[in-house]
Amino acid sequence: MAVFAMAKIGAITRYQSTNWFLKTIPNCLIMIMSYSIQGFIEFSKKQMKESEMAYTLDTKVGEILKDAHAVEILEKYVPGISKNPLIGLAKGMTLKRLVSMPQAKQAGITEEMVVKVLEEINAPK
């Protein structure tokens, strides 16, 4: 737009505007590609960190059930938990939400108990 406006008032010739265009566009594309690559690298690093993060009370039950090591420890404390058909209802819930439910309170499950189990799950293997 600026080139067109400058060409209109005769500040630059058609050759100069074409030359500017041919020099500028590849540089812009290179800059955009480098930002895209940098963004992808940062995204990949973030994904790797998240996959290495420890389980917390904000972790969804479904994520824990995908980890064989975590299921093994859960089975130690609550035998049959991973095979229970009702566990499907909790897969989308966070552990914090699950612990806050009245049924958990009635069963005597406290946040402290869940944190201790999480510490065992998160401990180096």
Q: What are phi and psi of 10, to 5 degrees?
A: 85, 15
Q: What is the CA radius of gyration of the chain?
A: 28
Looking at residue 52, its amino acid is: E
Domain segments of the chain: what residues? Answer: 2-52, 61-122
The values of phi and psi at residue 93, to 5°, are -90, 150
64 contacts 121 by C-beta, under 8 angstroms:
yes
- Quote the pTM value: 0.56
pLDDT for res 64: 94
- To which H or E segment does residue 77 belong? helix 68-77
CB 61 within 8 A of CB 91: yes
> Which two three-digit tokens encode residue 63?
């994520």
In one-letter notation, the amino acid at residue 62 is: G
Mean pLDDT by 10 residues, the chain (125 residues): 50 56 64 65 57 82 94 92 89 94 89 94 87
